[in-house]
Amino acid sequence: MMEDKIVKVLETDTACCSKEELIFSNDKINKRHTHHHKGEKHEHGDDDGHGHSHSMGDHAGAFRLFLPAVISLVLLITAIVLDNLVAQSWFTGGIRVLWYITAYIPVGFPVIKDALKNIGKGEVFSEFFLMTIATIGAFALGEYPEAVAVMLFYAVGEVFQTLAVNRAKNNIKALLDQRPDEATVLRDGQWKTIRAEAAAIGDIIQLKPGEKLALDGILLSETASFNTAALTGESKPDTKLKEETVLAGMINLNTVSQVKVTTAYTDSKLSKILELVQNATRQKAPTELFIRKFAKVYTPIVVLLAIAIWLLPYFFVADYQFNEWLYRALVFLVISCPCALVISIPLGYFGGIGAAGRNGILFKGSNFLDVMATVKNVVMDKTGTLTEGVFKVREIVFKPGFNKEEWLQLINTLESNSTHPVATAIHEYVGEVDQTLELTDTEEIPGHGLKAKVNGKVLLAGNFRLMDMFGITCDVDTVSVTDTIIAVAYDGMFVGYITISDSIKEDAKATVQRLNAMNIRTTMLSGDKSAVVRHVAGELGIQNAFGDLLPGDKVNKVKAMKAGGASVAFVGDGVNDAPVIALCDAGIAMGGLGSDAAIETADVVIQDDKPSKIPVAIEIGKQTKRIVWQNISMAFGVKAIVLILGAGGLATMWEAVFADVGVALLAILNAIRIQRMNFN
């Protein structure tokens, strides 16, 4: 089937694709990046902005694809001229037949070869088989120009399909080319270039201008600017300061920088995202699955119908002409070829996944494009999704008699056992942990806070639910405080509290406005206190907001929404978001700062953590689905009309070519439109 040809096209680049994988394998990805080692030129930026440079080899490859069709076209035009425009006596009989056969071979032989190969595998009814029967039958009837022309146009259509699939595939594969093979690390006081996989956690990487970072780490230099376009779709340079996190795939722009490796090569954010991309096309949309099944049933049916058109009239038509009805049957076969459907539908989904990749969004399968197209409710976490997730200590209030410095040191030591942004904020405010302080039985209570023992007595730091759990009364007016409050208690007594605030992302409000304009209901679910959640929701214009939620509470809220029948997408970034992400029709994870659990559970990953990509993902899903159904309607409509005309003897091979190759080309051109659309 046509799908096998798609695989062949893809195999020419990856040399490792199977029919089921279609595009990606896990181990043999064709990497196109270059490095600055020994004066090599490092090229970035094609017209797609994905860090590729188009070489002359691309044009040469396209020319080679078209060459058989060009040879066949020249021979065919020459033959038609000799037949109709030039008076001569030699272009007759065997010479004429041989000339047309010669014109047929460059485009016909590969199709016949594939038809025989499929028959050997037990797949008799393929479009190769249909085109072979139709054109050989035309030769048998003496319709030599039509036989060559049908196969020629079919071959040209195949080339355009190949080029279109390559383009869609390259857009998707752009992400897979972002990870360098090598890194320059400091070993024994010298800079050495090693395989990136050999770099260890704690190694110092030197990154020259134009080089691409191979592993996640923290910046040791005072400042550095990075191009993250290929990784996130964001063209604006991202300036990082000392101690800030930098991710594999970022390109250093100006000064020589040093980065300390914090994550193994195979565990970097980019590596995990690449694993997801490699499996993206295995998840088929229902429309794709239907068309694949449909083609297997449809093709043998039309072959039987063609035989019926050829033979049955013998019993019912008085002046039955064998050649005339055979010609009608052959026209019917050409028209019925399911190329437009089998190629344009997966190509439409490839295009959708590629367009999303260009915008810094990863769909883990084409089925999730369909899901996103139907989303009616978008549920969002607050911290790290709509807010920066970077907390800062604002106010410290302790009761009289409690030394501020001593208690802050104690709380800092306790919070050092957590990776929560609140713990980071306290650590940045207080400074280094006092190693002389001894805490025992340290425990993190999910959705509540931390507990430990100091001198045999219980120390608590967390939200007011934690205080309620241990029966501690807190005399604090929580309604008037719109910042996050960390309550502290010791030995059953309320000690005081620390307020911490987060800033709203600059594109969060525009995101909510766009979702509302799309008639999508917005909801915020957060474990933060209700006053903070309501304050943020009010600023952004979110329709529903719920705070003081445990992970289980979020799950129950989403279950209630799903019970209403409308599809729900949830956007989150934390480990505690993983259960609700898995529950939703479409789970969306923030891929930059998001936890590995959230990213692995999600169906869609937003690489740059920008909430504005949420409506973009929905719009890409809608456009993809719209294009796919346009192609289905066009293919079925045109084929139905021309099939009826062909069976009635009113359509020739030329109309059949349009119904097959022409419709396929129109469908392909329609499918690749999505790769050029602007969704921002």
Distance CA 147, CA 104 (A): 8
Q: CA-to-CA distance for 293 and 491, rounded, in angstroms?
A: 68
Can you read off the two tokens belonging to residue 270?
């980019």
Instruction: Look up residue 440 and give its two tokens.
Output: 């025992």
Catalytic residue among 114, 177, 238, 381: 381
Tell me if 159 sits within 8 A of 363, measured CB to CB: no
Q: What is the DSSP string of 309-367?
A: HHHTHHHH-TT--HHHHHHHHHHHHHHH--HHHHHHHHHHHHHHHHHHHHTTEEES-HH
> Sign of torsion, CA 498 416 204 26?
negative
DSSP output for 439-464: -EEEEEETTTEEEEEETTEEEEEE-H
Euclidean distance between CA atoms 543 and 215, whole angstroms: 40
> Token pair of 73, please?
């076209």
Residue 436, classified by CB atoms within 10 Å of its CB into exposed (0-12), middle (13-18) or buried (19+), is exposed
State both tokens at 406: 């001593």
Distances (CA, A) of 22 to 34, 212, 354, 464, 616: 26, 28, 14, 52, 26
Tell how far CA 345 is from the center of its chain: 16
Angle between helices 56-84 and 144-173 (to 10 degrees): 170
How many other CB atoms are there within 10 angstroms of residue 23's CB atom?
Answer: 26
| The total number of residues written for the chain in this structure | 680
Question: Which residues have CB under 8 Å from 85's CB, separation 6+?
Answer: none
Q: Which helix (H) or strand (E) holds 603?
A: none
DSSP state of 196: G
Is-catalytic flag, 381?
A: yes
Which positions are annotated as active-site residues? 381
